[in-house]
């Protein structure tokens, strides 16, 4: 067992863990933050995307131990005082989700896209940037709309 400490959604947490604990297991099993999901074994579906030190990463392909000392934000950490993040709101407004399983990863990736590419995103860019997030329900049509709308809204909320 080894010790890890990190900040998750603004709260300091620490625990003794088996070294083979993945970040996603640490979040789901130790912290009971079950909004981050696991949809594949090969680092492709993106249901597990969270932000570590402000950057989107796949928490199923990162050891919790490697995140010692970092600041992690999960889907549960986006809304503040009951006010949704503009990207969350955009997914709801544009019907960007159906079963909801890929949604947390989609939203975390979408915010990362905006952080990197700005607020004015064309369809081609959004589709390319969503390469690491698989959705089986929506055909991506409304996800693309959601990301574009959320990107604009994020500009307004700054």
Q: Residue 55 or residue 157: which is nearer to another protein going by CB? A: 55
Q: Residue 119 or residue 127: which is nearer to another protein going by CB? A: 127
Half-sphere exposure for 153 (CA within 13 Å, toward CB): 18
Token couple for 44: 């492709």
Q: Residues 6 or more apart from 89 whose CB is under 8 A from it?
A: 150, 153
82: enclosing H helix or E strand: none
Q: Residue 139 or residue 155: which is nearer to another protein going by CB? A: 139
- Would you give the end-to-end CA distance of the chain in angstroms? 42
Least distance (Å) between residue 154 CB and another protein:
15
Interacting residues with another protein between 54 and 113 (CB under 8 A)? 55-58, 60-63, 65-66, 68, 74-76, 78-79, 84, 88, 91-93, 95, 97-104, 107, 109, 112-113
């Amino acid at each position: 067992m080894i010790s890890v400490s990190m900040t998750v959604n603004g709260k300091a947490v620490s625990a003794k863990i088996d070294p083979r604990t993945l970040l996603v297991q640490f979040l789901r099993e130790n912290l009971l933050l079950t909004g981050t999901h696991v949809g594949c074994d090969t680092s492709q579906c993106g249901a597990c995307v969270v932000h570590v030190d402000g950057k989107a990463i796949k928490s199923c392909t990162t050891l919790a131990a490697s995140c010692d000392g970092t600041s992690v934000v999960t889907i549960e950490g986006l809304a503040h005082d009951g006010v949704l993040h503009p990207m969350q709101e955009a997914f709801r407004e544009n019907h960007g989700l159906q079963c909801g399983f890929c949604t947390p990863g989609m939203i975390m990736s979408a915010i990362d896209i905006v952080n990197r590419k700005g607020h004015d995103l064309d369809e081609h860019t959004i589709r390319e940037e969503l390469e690491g997030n698989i959705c089986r329900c929506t055909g991506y049509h409304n996800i693309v709309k959601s990301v574009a709308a959320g990107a604009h809204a994020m500009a307004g909320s700054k």
